[in-house]
Structure 1
Amino acid sequence: MRHVRTLVVILAALAVSGCVTTPRFLMPGPPAPPPSIDNVVYGGPGDVTGGISGPSPAVAAALVKADDPDPPYTLDSGDRLRVMVYGQDGLTNTYAVDASGRITLPLIGGVSARGRTTADLAKVIAARLRDGYIREPHVAVEVEAYRPFFILGEVTFPGQYPFVAHMSAETAVAIAGGFTPRAYRTEIEITRPTPQGPVRLKGPMLTPVRPGDTVVVSERWF
């Protein structure tokens, strides 16, 4: 009988111990990776910029890519324009944008064209003519010849060339006589004038070239 009581006590002790939860010690996980420069600029996992969802205006202005959609063409020195004032043969003519970015018309004199689209320039000319010269002027402006582009570096004949519609950097190299033996043929650099100042970008050989661009073909190192 004593053995039976002893067995009962042992079984009860085992049952109680099975209900007690043993504390677990968790191993610390690996430390979080440091934020990359892309996350610092653009936001994202590991962002330390306070939840910025996109680049700052200053960074966005600097990150100009060659494959961005073409903005409306803006006029500058070297463009040749056809200005048509309907019913006014004495005003309808071809005008060159001079070094100061202006064209000079009869009656109204100099008009600033630099940084304007053809539609904007037509509105400015119409407003000037309406101010004491023509009651209801109808003006249209189109580009008769674009300003030239420039190509420098490792091409056979670097220099200034007339712009051709739908040009790429590859076309520009062909116009300049092709690559030299030392040319880096994978990527080119373009300096592009804008109303806010020149912008420098890099891209493949199929990068579009615009009037006024300076294309630079670098030298390969090996």
Structure 2
Amino acid sequence: MHVRPRQRGIPPLSSMSRRAALCAALSITVVLGGCTSMGANLPPLPSEPAGPYRLGAGDQVRVTVFNDPRLTGDFRVSDTGSVALPLVGLVPVQGRTTEQAARQIEETLSSRGLFNDPSVALEVLTYRPVFVLGMVERGGQTPYQPGMTVLSAVAVVGGFNYRAVTDYVGLTRIGEDGQAHEYRAERSALLQPGDVVNVFERRF
């Protein structure tokens, strides 16, 4: 009678051993996943060439209509993106430069028959604010200043707190399509009025 020799090597895993190995692998995956900082997978903030400022809701502007003080004054861009001028009504300025907005007002004055050849100037008095949320000492809004960066905006609201991710932030910005888009932005990234900065919490 022929007897097969006993095979040497690693014995097969029992069902319980296989389950234990699977649980260990899953645990490692969860731990490694937890080490990934919040917001790290967001797309990077695209670099945009410097260009003229474009008006948006919340901006305070001064409109000067030369030779007619009745139409000259300070106005706020409404939530609908318009300024309400005396004798004229609503004039849309959302997304326009100050020069384009001034020309739009001139066209409106001409079309209403108020002036034959109006001359208008428009300047920004106060920009709409930037909002800073998350792991900072005092979250909230802060007035935008030209040249403001992520780091300077965080500094205005008291700086990062001890639980903050300090290398980058989440930044939500309204795109040209009118929709909000969220990006990962470095500390040195330049802000735009209306941006929302979200400082993430460290996992460990």
TM-score normalised to structure 1 length: 0.68
Superposed CA offset, 1:8-54 (max 9, x none): xxxxxxxxxxxxxxxxxxxxxxxxxxxxxxxxxxxxxxxxxxxxxxx
Counterpart residue number, 1:140: 121
TM-fit CA distance, 1:160: 1.2
Q: SS of the counterpart of 2:109?
A: helix
Question: Aligned runs of 1:124-203 on 2, under 5 Å?
Answer: 124-131=104-111, 132-196=113-177, 197-203=179-185
Instruction: Give 2:85's match in structure 1, choosing from 99, 102, 105.
Output: 105
CA, structure 1 residues 110+123, in 2 after alignment: closer, same or farther (shift >3 Å)?
A: same
TM-fit CA distance, 1:73: 2.2
Is 1:215 the counterpart of 2:197? The answer is yes
Q: Which runs of 5+ in 2 are unaligned?
A: 1-41
Amino acid at match of 2:134: G
Does the 8 A contact of 1:66 with 1:202 survive in 2? Answer: no
CA, structure 1 residues 63+190, in 2 after alignment: closer, same or farther (shift >3 Å)?
A: closer
Does the 8 A contact of 2:91 with 2:108 survive in 1? Answer: no
Superposed CA offset, 1:147-177 (max 9, x none): 0110011100011111122100000110110
Question: Aligned runs of 1:10-89 on 2, under 5 Å?
Answer: 65-89=45-69
Give distance in 1, aligned partners of 2:123 and 2:61: 6
Return the structure number with greater relative CO, CA threshold 8 A, min gap 6. 2
Superposed CA offset, 1:38-94 (max 9, x none): xxxxxxxxxxxxxxxxxxxxxxxx977343223432211110011111111111111
Aligned pairs, number: 161
Does the 8 A contact of 1:64 with 1:199 survive in 2? Answer: no
Amino acid at match of 2:162: P
Does the 8 A contact of 1:183 with 1:219 survive in 2? Answer: yes
Give distance in 2, aligned partners of 1:97 and 1:211: 13
Structure with the greater alpha carbon radius of gyration = 1
TM-score normalised to structure 2 length: 0.74
Q: SS of the counterpart of 2:57?
A: coil
